Amino acid sequence: MRYTGVWGLAGAVVLLVTGCSAFLPQQAPQDPGGASAIEWEPCHDGGGREEVPEDGDPEWTAALECGTLSVPLDHDDPDGETIDIALARVPASGGPDERIGSLVLNPGGPGESGVEMLAYPQFSDGIRSAFDLVAFDPRGVGDSGGFACGNWDRFAEAQLRVQDPTAVTDAELERLTSSARSYADACTETMGAGFLAEIGTVNVVRDLDLIREALGDDALSYVGYSYGTYIGALYAEMFPATTRALVLDGAVETERPNLEVAEDQAAAFQETWELFVADCSAAGTCPFSGPEAADTEMTRILDRLDAEPATARDMPVDGPTLLGMVGLALYDETSWPELARTLTALAEGSAESGELLDALYDTTYGVGEEEEEAATAGEEPAGDPYADTEAALTAVNCADRVDPTDPEAYREAAEAIAAETPFFGPDLVWGQLPCAYWTDTETAPTGFAAADAPPLVVVGTVGDPATPYGWARELAGQLETATLVTYEGSGHTVYGYGLPCVDDPIDAYLLTGQAPEPGLSCPAF
């Protein structure tokens, strides 16, 4: 079997943003369109508002505050229907003389929860002393009107039923288009065309400016990861007068058609896989005889799992499931040794392969102690952690881009990617097929340069599997005031992870507004 896995990374893989004409810069509204003041209260007050993370830091958890901000669903109708945006913050640890303001964070997606992101300590003491750290769930995500719609599993099953990804039959294409159309129609029926029309990034940016205003900041300080870089870049274009300092780490593509961007992502995952193979082969820690033979040897492992699935946390692990875990492990190069050990145990049929698969599953899917105990007791986990992410991810992606409506375009792109990337590819194209049948939305702009913004910082990782380094170079060139910081290692995003070469100059930028020297490049750790 040829593997070009449908591995369902949901919000983990950043989605693609393209569009048409640029917007003119907007002034911050004198009347915040019905936005109310944020009333902060402890997130973990025993009332069950937020679940206390068992592995969290008690002092951090005690400091964490939650609130909501009411914003217009349609910003052109400020007196109409509203949506409540969920926020969390940790107040600055320094005194009044040290505090600069708020530092707003976004973890990416589309579909990732900022409120959940802030559950654990982040950033250096200097940043935490000077800024209230604030994160939010964008509209349509988590506690900001998060939703689930349609049957994504049925659509994913249609992808799995493709026998040869390089030659999709007419019958297979019909199954794919039928399930994609059904998903899109179900979302429109469940949520309403009016709601879906207002979910795109343009309106997230407008919400972000109301958040800034409600926080009492004259100008925005912001760190956005992955898809969050698009939010930040578009904010600098639409609201340059209220932009202070923006860090855009793991930049997304904003200019080219989505199928071209999908090709970039597939190639980036393949390149990062090859970096992993070269690294572990040279160290003798993985079951591959060398980079040239690794794809064939990996396919044998996948075929064996298809014939006789393993288990991880009492869940079956076949070839596509393992590819999902591999893809997520590529996001963080610190997990590569664990991945190498697991693949070696699977290749050798080692007795410890089950324990290693359990550990890799926990690492890649973030299973905590409570979920582990529930699984051990045979209990179903509470809720579906991917339902909201999948729906919001699709809705934002479809809102932000101009997509082909001819399914043949998706087939051609998917087949071309499958021929070039043995493991990672067609799902990145097929995952966009519901957009061919999506309701009309306000399209996000392209061609913007944020020419009137103050200095901005773009961060790119050479071995980033999800947002290729070339995208960081492109965004830094597109934004007239941007400086590019390069990390020569691998993984998806890097700022705030404790690497002094990256963190120190970016910390200084956030504190002072002085961008790093052009050309800064940091070696792999």
- What is the three-class DSSP state of 120? coil
In angstroms, the Cα distances linking 34 to 84, 85, 192, 203, 345 are 11, 13, 23, 15, 58
The DSSP bridge pattern shows strands 315-317 and 65-72 to be unpaired
Would you say 166 and 2 are in contact if contact means Cβ atoms under 8 Å apart?
A: yes
Using the Cα atoms of residue 514, residue 520, residue 521 and residue 525 in order, give the sign of their dihedral: negative
Encoded tokens for 505? 């100059």
The distance in angstroms from the start CA to the end CA of the chain is 37
Encoded tokens for 147? 């939703």
Place of tokens 């509203």: 82
Cα gap 315→367, rounded to integer Å: 13
Number of neighbouring beta carbons within 10 Å of residue 124: 17
Encoded tokens for 323? 């590819």
Encoded tokens for 11? 């919000």
- What is the three-class DSSP state of 67? strand
**What single-letter amino acid sits at 26?**
Q
User: Nearest 5°: phi and psi at 173?
Assistant: -65, -40
Contacts of 271 (CB under 8 A, 6+ apart): 463, 465, 468
Active-site residue list: 226, 464, 492
Contacts of 356 (CB under 8 A, 6+ apart): 338, 341, 342, 345
What angle separates helix 387-400 from helix 152-160, to the nearest 10 degrees? 80
Number of H helices, E strands in the chain: 19, 12
**What single-letter amino acid sits at 189?**
E
Contacts of 523 (CB under 8 A, 6+ apart): 488, 489, 501
Strands (E), 242-387: 243-249, 310-312, 315-317
Contacts of 369 (CB under 8 A, 6+ apart): 54, 55
In angstroms, the Cα distances linking 348 to 288, 323, 344, 345, 354 are 11, 18, 6, 5, 12
